[in-house]
């Protein structure tokens, strides 16, 4: 839950600034709605690596890992568990 909130604040405040979003639902598609574009994903990955002390490989930067806040949170949890 906290991870989702952290991600949401970053996306709203630093990535999707022009969309003037108030909230993003945990299972809302970030790609279909255009909240995340290709540059946005790069910024998000850099943030996640610094914030959660993880490394996300190029091969992991695929749509299915970044479709929703829940999906990204799940990926982060899985990586933390395996590290």
Partner 1 sequence: MDFTFTEEQVRFKESVVKFSLRELNDGVTERDKKGEFFREGWRKCADFGILGLPVPKEYGGLEADIVTCAVLMQGLGYACRDSGLLFVMGSHIWTCEIPILHFGTKEQKEKFLPRLCKGEIIGGHAITEPDSGSDAFGLKTTAVKDGDRYILNGSKMFISNAPIADILLIFARTDKTKGFGGISAFIVEKGFPGFSVGKPLEKMGLKTAPIGEVILQDCPVPVENRLGKEGMASAIFNSEMDWERCCLFATQLGVMEYQVETCVKYAKERPQFGKPIGKYQSISHKIADMKMRIELGSLILYKVAWMKAQGKKAPIESAIAKVYVSESYVKSSLDAIQIHGGYGYMTEFGLEKDLRDSIAGKIYSGTSEIQRNIIASWLGL
Residues near partner 1, by CB under 8 A: 14, 17, 29, 31-32, 34, 37-39, 41-43, 45-46, 49, 55, 58-64, 66-67
How far is Cα 13 from Cα 76, in angstroms, rounded to an integer?
Answer: 20
How far is Cα 29 from Cα 67, in angstroms, rounded to an integer?
Answer: 5
Nearer to partner 1, 1 or 24 (CB): 24
Mapped onto helix, strand or coil, the DSSP state of residue 72 is helix
Half-sphere exposure of 37 (CA within 13 A, CB side): 8
Task: Please count the residues of the chain.
Answer: 83
| Tokens read off for 60 | 């992991």
Nearer to partner 1, 23 or 58 (CB): 58
Q: Shortest approach of partner 1 to residue 19 CB, angstroms?
A: 13
Nearer to partner 1, 3 or 40 (CB): 40
Q: Shortest approach of partner 1 to residue 56 CB, angstroms?
A: 8
Q: Shortest approach of partner 1 to residue 61 CB, angstroms?
A: 4
């Amino acid at each position: 839950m906290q991870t989702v909130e952290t991600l949401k604040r970053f996306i709203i405040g630093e990535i999707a600034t022009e969309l003037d979003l108030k909230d993003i639902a945990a299972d809302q598609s970030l790609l279909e709605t255009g909240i995340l574009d290709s540059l946005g994903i790069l910024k998000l990955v850099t943030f996640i690596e610094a914030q959660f002390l993880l490394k996300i490989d190029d091969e992991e930067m695929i749509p299915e890992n970044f479709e929703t806040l829940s999906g990204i949170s799940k990926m982060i949890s899985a990586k933390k568990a395996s590290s």
